[in-house]
Amino acid sequence: MKKRASNISQLKDRLIEFDTLPSTNEYCKKEQVNGKIVVAKKQTNGHGRMGRSFFSEDGGLYVSFCYELNDVLPEHLIPITGMCAVAVIRAIVTVCKISPSIKWTNDILLQNKKICGILAETVFSNDLSPEKLIIGIGINLNQAKKSFDGELKNIASSIYALTGKRTDKKELLKVLASEVDKAAKIAVSPQSECDLKNEYVKEYRKNCITLGKEIHILKQSLAPDGIDPKVAFSQNKELFPTAIAVDIDENFGLLVQNPDKTFETIVSGEVSVR
Ligand code: BTN
């Protein structure tokens, strides 16, 4: 990955801005935008992990950072989402002067409502080596409370709706770009490894509200026949196993203790805090 600093003028050179896009991540997948930062004022098909849609109306920050990868092993990219969660927390704390939390794996919450989601995606070449890293971040910033209605009302909100404070998007983007660049560079440089990565793991643990809680774990195999596991999970969590979230490992996996006292590490998927 090429080294890039993020002072204001370099940020300007890297920015590609749109009023509307289906999805900034999809744009990065299709276009040659390595090294660029793609921002849209709104998205018509913003999406997140597990095929979920991401509410992307005017007022939020919807941004994808696109990095060219050279000689990077797929396993080096495992921690990237966790490291970016820390990058987002740092940027929001610095610019918005509030202290959000992380819900494992990639949700940023304020007052128990989701204010940000992160979707890191890798594009592979024909020989299956990673060639492009796309880090998509959606932050609910200045939308009014009434924008989050229907089923969103209880799960998501914006920083403005929760605090009454408006955020300068450009200011947040500047700090965010510098933090995401730093996290991506550390993640893809195995030599810089341990200590620097550990700092991110420590900071993640400190901010992770999932730890210590009783959780339900979405295991695809436990959904009733013919029912989409995600739908089953959102409608009836009791069908899925419970466990206590104990720790975050060095790759941001979630170590849990099952009711039979055994331990296991969950590396992806979804948990729901009871
Ligand atoms: C999630 O909640 O699971 C992740 C949501 C990620 C949303 C961002 S908004 C910018 C970028 N474009 C997308 O379509 N998704 C990401």
Report which DSSP code applies to 220. G
Q: What angle do CA 225, 266, 137 make, to 5 degrees?
A: 95
The pLDDT assigned to 3 comes to 43
The pLDDT assigned to 123 comes to 95
Q: Give 93-162 as a DSSP string.
A: HHHH----EEETTTEEEETTEEEEEEEEEEEE-TTS-EEEEEEEEEE--S--GGGS-GGGTTTB--HHHH
Measured in Å, residue 96 CA sits from the centre of ligand 1 at 20
Q: Could you tell which of 18, 20, 47, 113 is best to mutate to test the pocket of ligand 1, judged by most ligand atoms within 8 Å of the CB? A: 47
Region for residue 252 given its phi and psi (left: phi exceeds 0; alpha: psi -120 to 50; beta: otherwise)? left
Helix 169-188 / helix 193-207 crossing angle, nearest 10 deg: 130
**Of 155, 45, 167, whose CA–CA distance to 107 is shortest?**
155
The two structure tokens encoding residue 7:
């002072």
Give the Cα separation of 262 and 229 in Å (integer): 24
The pLDDT assigned to 222 comes to 58
Nearest CA residue ID for atom 9, ligand 1: 138
Q: Residue 4 carries which side chain, given as an amino acid letter?
A: R
Q: Are 251 and 219 in contact (CB under 8 A)?
A: no
Nearest CA residue ID for atom 16, ligand 1: 136
In this prediction the pTM is 0.90
**Quick check: CB of 103 below 6 Å from ligand 1?**
no
Q: Could you tell which of 62, 135, 173 is best to mutate to test the pocket of ligand 1, judged by most ligand atoms within 8 Å of the CB? A: 62
pLDDT in tens, the chain (274 residues): 544 444 555 888 999 999 999 999 999 999 999 999 999 999 999 999 888 899 999 999 999 999 999 999 998 899 999 999 999 999 999 999 999 999 999 999 999 999 999 999 999 998 889 999 999 999 999 999 999 998 899 999 999 999 999 999 999 999 999 999 999 999 988 766 578 899 999 999 999 999 999 988 776 655 566 667 666 656 666 666 688 999 999 999 999 998 889 998 988 766 676 5
**Of 129, 36, 118, 114, whose CA–CA distance to 75 is shortest?**
129
**Of 253, 237, 235, whose CA–CA distance to 245 is shortest?**
253
The pLDDT assigned to 4 comes to 44
The pLDDT assigned to 5 comes to 42
114 CA closest ligand 1 atom index: 2
Measured in Å, residue 55 CA sits from the centre of ligand 1 at 9
40 CA closest ligand 1 atom index: 10
CA 46, distance to chain mean position in Å, is: 13
Nearest CA residue ID for atom 7, ligand 1: 138
Q: Could you tell which of 107, 119, 139, 230 is best to mutate to test the pocket of ligand 1, judged by most ligand atoms within 8 Å of the CB? A: 119
Is 242 in a helix, a strand, or coil? strand
**Quick check: CB of 48 below 6 Å from ligand 1?**
yes
Environment class of 135 (CB within 10 Å of its CB; exposed 0-12, middle 13-18, buried 19+): buried
Give the largest CA-CA distance in the chain.
56
The pLDDT assigned to 52 comes to 87
